[in-house]
Structure 1
Amino acid sequence: MSATFGGRSGRQGRISEWLRGRRAGRPLDETPDAAGREALLLAAAAAGLPLAPAAHPSGYGCSCDRVGCPTPARHPVSFAWQTQSTTDHAQVERWARHQPEANFITATGMVHDVLDVPLSAGRQALERLLAAGVEVGPVAESESEAEDGRLLFFTHTRGTPEDEDEWWPCELDCHPETMDEHPGLRWHCRGSYVLVPPARLPGDVAVHWVRGPEHPLPDPLSLLEILTDECARHAATEPDTTAWPQHG
């Protein structure tokens, strides 16, 4: 599960070249074709992000058979997604080719965590982090028709701390006692997941890379101060900010 980006010659070199070629002032995976979709998924797996198939849009709903699915196209297709998640190149390739419409999730808390913030706050934070010379890893953008959208910062996982009181669960922003300190921030760690680009949501909405998976994962604590600062600024003007729901 600890495969590193660029660890394979030949095909991995072509994936890296494809990713570099997509950078022209637009999302890395804007409307990717089948080959582009597969290359992006394999690049994510090669970077160590464990993947598993997820639902996809069906009209304005979800491909799953759940009536009124609360998170259409945003959830895994299997209840065993945590054990199913893998970085195995051959398995991800098979999934991508046999399920051409499927989105994919990446399980957090194994190799990486994700700091999930409102889009406008995340964009301001990203500018500040880069200007300050802070190492920023992969960043994905989740668009939204009705809301502000979300920016997802991929980081190293914190693992399991010795003191469980130090553990910040993925429901960080869902409890009243944490909202004042960490408004709008969700920390995806063990037991959680996020969609990995490229992904499609109902209403022709997408999840795409802003910074691709070739960027090394940073320490989450190196990003946290600026992210929480910008989330607090955002909450002052958008007091009803809530995190994008992940689980169905």
Structure 2
Amino acid sequence: MSAEFGGRTGRQSRISQWLRGRRPKEAAGDGGREDLLLAAAAAGLPLAPAAHPADGYGCSCDRVGCPTPARHPVSFAWQTQSTTDRAQVERWARHQSQANFVTATGMVHDVFDVPLEAGRQALRRLLEEGVEAGPVAESDDGRMLFFTLTRGTPEDEDEWWPCELDCHPETMDEHPGLRWHCRGSYVLVPPARLPGDDRGVRWVRGPEHALPDPLSLLEALTDACARYAGDEPDHVGASWPRH
């Protein structure tokens, strides 16, 4: 990992200063994509370039029948390439103007990835109960992403386990319930474009919100996903983390 990360207080201070220094018209104009990526990097989310939609529902990569079009990193070295360095993110954003970006999980942050309706129910409950929900994104492929602190850090290596114990990014369709992205995984970071007309990934609550402890969200998310599975017969076989 090519970036250095500070504590939560330092991160909040840096991103708050950065956001206060932006003019509203900048975020709304052509620089809006770059501004949002820089805000994510300033919040400590390590970024790496990803594929983008091509030819309608295809992918910009050269893989025939890509199973995750516009949803995967460009480089196989994405874990070591991922960075929060502002200058590098600016270069990528400007020279790869069509690219989506992923953020590597399990180093600074994890991501709870849940069905959209379940996520919306859980978010309402969390806000009503006064729980800090942290950054949250919605995807037009029917998912909601809750960004949290990671379960492990390089200092406590024994507490880490790979995301493959839950699921792998390329086998997500086999896990329609709650997915816990941790070490070895990634998610698209807003703003991102998905194949199809006007489909993408966007922030509901931006990266200026502090990353919460994942356990503070888990009960609300699992309860909402259980209700969602009960309401949707096709999701009865949803996979749950077993740890």
TM-score scaled to structure 2, two decimals? Answer: 0.82
The Cα offsets for residues 55-75 of structure 1, whole Å up to 9 and x where unpaired, read as: 000021000000110100000
> % of aligned pairs identical?
72
Could you tell me which residue of structure 1 aligns to residue 193 of structure 2?
200
Could you tell me which residue of structure 1 aligns to residue 234 of structure 2?
240
Q: Is the 1:183–1:235 contact (alpha carbons within 8 Å) kept by the matching residues of 2?
A: no
Could you tell me which residue of structure 1 aligns to residue 218 of structure 2?
224
**For 1:47, which of 43, 46, 49 is the aligned residue?**
43
Structure 2 residue identity aligned to 1:196: V
Q: State how far apart, in whole Å, the 2-side matches of 1:90 and 1:163 are.
A: 33
SS in 2 for 1:37: helix
* Residue 101 of structure 1, CA deviation: 0.5
Q: State how far apart, in whole Å, the 2-side matches of 1:123 and 1:233 are.
A: 12
Distance 1:238 1:109, change over 3 A: same
**For 2:166, which of 172, 193, 198 is the aligned residue?**
172
**For 2:60, which of 59, 63, 73 is the aligned residue?**
63
Could you tell me which residue of structure 1 aligns to residue 92 of structure 2?
95
Q: Is the 2:16–2:208 contact (alpha carbons within 8 Å) kept by the matching residues of 1?
A: no
Taking the TM superposition and a 5 Å limit, the aligned residue runs for 1:3-42 are 4-7=11-14, 12-15=19-22, 18=24, 33-42=29-38
* Residue 235 of structure 1, CA deviation: 0.4
* Residue 240 of structure 1, CA deviation: 2.9
Structure 1 residue identity aligned to 2:95: H
Q: Is the 2:161–2:183 contact (alpha carbons within 8 Å) kept by the matching residues of 1?
A: no
Gaps of 5+ in 1: 23-31, 175-181, 244-248
Q: How many residues are treated as equivalent by the alignment?
A: 220
TM-score scaled to structure 1, two decimals? Answer: 0.81
Distance 1:12 1:121, change over 3 A: closer
Q: Please identify, of 6-15 and 49-58, the stretch whose mean Cα deviation from structure 2 is larger.
A: 6-15
SS in 1 for 2:137: strand
**For 1:2, which of 2, 5, 28 is the aligned residue?**
5
SS in 2 for 1:240: helix
Distance 1:121 1:37, change over 3 A: same
SS in 2 for 1:7: helix
Structure 1 residue identity aligned to 2:227: R
SS in 1 for 2:102: strand
Q: Is the 1:183–1:232 contact (alpha carbons within 8 Å) kept by the matching residues of 2?
A: no
Q: State how far apart, in whole Å, the 2-side matches of 1:10 and 1:120 are.
A: 34
Q: State how far apart, in whole Å, the 2-side matches of 1:108 and 1:83 are.
A: 12
Q: Which 4+ residue blocks in structure 1 deviate beyond 4 angstroms? A: 8-12, 160-164
- Please tell me the root mean square deviation across aligned C-alpha atoms, in Å: 2.6
Q: State how far apart, in whole Å, the 2-side matches of 1:92 and 1:227 are.
A: 32
Structure 2 residue identity aligned to 1:209: W
Q: State how far apart, in whole Å, the 2-side matches of 1:9 and 1:113 are.
A: 22
Q: State how far apart, in whole Å, the 1-side matches of 2:220 and 2:164 are.
A: 19
More helix by share: 2
Q: State how far apart, in whole Å, the 1-side matches of 2:134 and 2:53 are.
A: 28
* Residue 2 of structure 1, CA deviation: 1.4
Gaps of 5+ in 2: 169-174
* Residue 18 of structure 1, CA deviation: 3.8
The Cα offsets for residues 154-173 of structure 1, whole Å up to 9 and x where unpaired, read as: 00001066766x95836536
